[in-house]
Each structure stands twice: as structure tokens, then as C-alpha cells.
Structure 1
């Protein structure tokens, strides 16, 4: 009796497998981002100056020797920022929507957005005393309350672990390339 039940169950899986595969294949193809979406994400990565973030990932990675670390940084130095953005955009387009990429690119082109990027990569450690808050101009406070910005900044913040993961994978690929 057990054998008959297992045989029927096994046969049902064999015959149902292709049907499920046929259903999931178009869904997987639909999940591929279109070129305009990838370009929007690439523009976002460019305005965010993510090449600096990739170098930060490389700096936090463990290397067996100082020579290996220097070799990776030498390869990163030879890699143009546009290539880094081009290579990271397709996988990140799966977690960053086109609307988010467009909205955050627009935001990072504002004076306040440029200031945030500059502080992120070009400033040293800063000491904040308890109770201190950074001064944000009134027009920027208004800008940051826009519904589109609020949604886009949340989605971008949620995508940050994936951005770091893809940057790590890219550092590994670049370190293995012959240059």
C-alpha cells in the first residue's frame, strides 16, 4: 500500500513538474528589468558615486596578504567608475524600482543631496553631542516630506544590504580578472 501511494505521488510530481516549469519560466523572464530601468539604476549608482562604496567594500574584505590587498586596489583603480556602475546596475535593478532610481537620482542632484554624498565619502569622523541635530534648510525639509521621496528613500535603504552584497561580488570578480 505504501509503495502504491509513493508511486502515485512520484508520478504526479513527474507529470506536474513540466507544467510548473512552464508557468514559472515566463514569470522569470518578466522579472528581468528592461533597458530603461537598468539605465535609471545605472544613473542612480553614478550620482551616488558608488565606486567609492565598492572601494569601501574592498577595504573591509579580508585578504591573506598585504600584496593581495594592494593588487585588488590596483585593479579597482584601473576600473573606470562607469564600468562599475554598468556592471552593478542589472542585478540591482531587481531590487531597486525604476521609480525609486529616478526619484533618488533627482534628489541626489539637489544641493542637499550632493552635500549628503560629499559627506558620505569625503568627510572624516564627526562628533555629535547628545541632543545636537544637523541643520537642514526649510526647502530641503519640505522636499524630504514628499511622498515620492519618502517611498524611494525607504526602498533604497531596504536595498542597501543587496547593494553591499553585489559590490562584494563585483570586487571578487574584478580581483580575479586579468589586467
Structure 2
């Protein structure tokens, strides 16, 4: 009896799975197109993050046949406006960055401390930290880092970092293939 019940249950699952897969596929196609407000929020975040520096970094780390090819790609990237890069990357990144995260992190990156974070991310060299030394964080920044919205948004943005790098690489390839 137990074997018969398992067999019937298994056959029922097999019969229902194509219908379930079709229903879930239809649901995902409806939700894949982000609304304009979501796209704008992601574009604003990319602008605040200085996405052009991410694309430049990806291009600089990529392998090329020779140095002149690398310089040609970097020159093409330099001709593309940062706003255009944000606009071109926003649709793909809106799938992994929610509108709430984009809004919260844009707000954070536009604060004085957030601007310092971005500046240090792209413009600082190697830093030596003495053993036992702790980095001092201003009280207002400690308070900012404890906000629930910031904690959630920061975590989501950290998880999206590999996708951001991948999409920046794809954009770099598209730009390098374009005729100017």
C-alpha cells in the first residue's frame, strides 16, 4: 500500500509539474520588467557609486593581446558619459537591486561620510594598519551604520557586487566593440 501511494503521488507530481512550470514562468515574465521609478532609483545609485570607475577598473584588470589594445578600450570608455553607463546598466542591475536598496544606498553615498567611502574605494592606495590598532569611526557614522534600512540595503548591495562586476564587464565589451 505504501509503495502504491508513493507511485500515485509521484505520477501526480509529474503530471502537475509542466503546468506549474508554465504558471511560474508566466509569473516571472510579468515581474521582470522593472517600473520606471525602480530604473531611476538604480540609475541614481549607479551615479552615486561612480559606476564609470567600476567599468574602468574592470577594463584595466582585463586581459588584452597588447598594451595598445588596452589603451584603445580605455579611451573608448572615457568617451562614454557616466550617466549613459548608469542608464545602460540599470535594466540588468534592477533585477538584483531593489528600489528600496537603491534609494537607501543613494542617500547614504550622498552623505559626507558616504562620499568619503566612495572616494577611498577608488582613490586610495594600500594602507598599513598597525597590529592592535582600531579604525576610528565618527559617532554619526556609527549611528548611520546601525539603521535597519542601511544594514539591509548594504547587505543586498554586497550580495549584488559580483553581478555588478559582471554587468560592468559586459558593458565594457559592448563599448569596446562600438565604432566611434
Q: Same fold (TM over 0.5)?
A: yes
Aligned residues: 168
Paired position in structure 1 for 2:32? 31
Paired position in structure 2 for 1:102? 103
C-alpha separation in 1, matches of 2:20 and 2:120: 53
SS in 2 for 1:162: helix
CA-CA distance at 1:110 after TM superposition: 1.0
Paired position in structure 2 for 1:52? 53
CA-CA distance at 1:133 after TM superposition: 2.3
TM-score by length of 1: 0.87
Paired position in structure 1 for 2:149? 148
CA-CA distance at 1:151 after TM superposition: 0.4
Paired position in structure 2 for 1:137? 138
Q: CA RMSD in A?
A: 2.0
Which 4+ stretches in 1 moved above 3 angstroms? 16-23
C-alpha separation in 2, matches of 1:23 and 1:94: 17
CA-CA distance at 1:22 after TM superposition: 5.7
C-alpha separation in 2, matches of 1:125 and 1:23: 48
C-alpha separation in 2, matches of 1:18 and 1:146: 43
TM-score by length of 2: 0.86
Paired position in structure 1 for 2:8? none
Paired position in structure 1 for 2:173? 172
Paired position in structure 1 for 2:160? 159
CA-CA distance at 1:23 after TM superposition: 4.8
CA-CA distance at 1:125 after TM superposition: 1.7
CA-CA distance at 1:67 after TM superposition: 1.6
C-alpha separation in 1, matches of 2:34 and 2:64: 34
Structure 2: 5+ residue runs without aligned partners? 1-10
Structure 1: 5+ residue runs without aligned partners? 1-8
CA-CA distance at 1:29 after TM superposition: 2.3
Greater shift in the superposed pair: 132-141 or 148-157: 132-141
C-alpha separation in 2, matches of 1:89 and 1:131: 42
Paired position in structure 2 for 1:91? 92
SS in 1 for 2:63: coil
